[in-house]
């Protein structure tokens, strides 16, 4: 919400679009069904951090921007060499403001299933109309509402779980994906304690 509202009440020039914003945000989630199997441990985190992605576009560009935004999250999973799938949500599973939503789910061998790790939504003009965010077309008259899109990079805790589960070896060591080697001081394997 705070990122989208950077343009609340504004009339933007068409040449300024698209606008793209990111922010590192703490997230808090209260889950229904406290007796479920995922209420403890790392998989069901009630507090976690992630990178928020927001785009403000012309209406005719919002569909392609949605694909670009989803591809950004996919690119991280590809670099980490993690198996994933992209799921187009039905309207009953989407947020109130969204007109189209993709969830990205990563493979977790410990659960023998895919679990959500990222999501992106095209909200069309819904949020823009509510916050009076418009743009002035280069040609023609009048102002038009922008389209807003929001999504997330990868949920950090679930990304760590996916790496640990997918790269664990029979001896308990964990191979570090090559994309992370430069951030690990050249370390390529995490060895179990002796």
Strands (E), the chain: 11-13, 19-28, 47-57, 84-88, 100-108, 113-122, 134-136, 144-145, 147-152, 174-175, 189-190
The answer to whether residues 96 and 89 touch, using CB atoms and an 8 Å cutoff, is no
CA distance 20 to 31: 30
How far is residue 114 CA from its own chain's centroid? Answer: 16
Catalytic residue IDs: 29, 44, 116, 119, 158
Q: Which residue has the tokens 């023998």?
A: 112
The answer to whether residues 97 and 150 touch, using CB atoms and an 8 Å cutoff, is no
């Amino acid at each position: 919400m705070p990122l989208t509202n950077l343009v609340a009440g504004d009339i933007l020039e068409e040449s300024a679009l698209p606008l793209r914003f990111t922010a590192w945000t703490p997230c808090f989630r209260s889950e229904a069904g406290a007796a479920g199997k995922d209420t403890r441990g790392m998989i069901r985190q009630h507090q976690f951090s992630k990178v928020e992605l927001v785009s403000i576009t012309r209406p005719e560009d919002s569909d392609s921007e949605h694909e670009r935004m989803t591809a950004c999250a996919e690119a991280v999973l590809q670099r980490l060499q993690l198996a994933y799938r992209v799921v187009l949500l039905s309207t009953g599973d989407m947020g109130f403001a969204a007109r189209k939503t993709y969830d990205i789910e990563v493979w977790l061998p410990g659960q023998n299933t895919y679990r959500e790790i990222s999501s992106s939504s095209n909200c069309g003009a819904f949020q823009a109309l509510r916050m009076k965010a418009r743009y002035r077309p280069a040609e023609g008259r009048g102002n038009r509402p922008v389209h807003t899109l929001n999504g997330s990079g990868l949920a950090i805790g679930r990304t760590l779980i996916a790496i640990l589960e997918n790269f664990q070896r029979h001896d308990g060591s964990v191979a570090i994906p090559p994309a992370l080697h430069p951030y690990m001081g050249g370390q390529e394997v995490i060895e179990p304690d002796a």
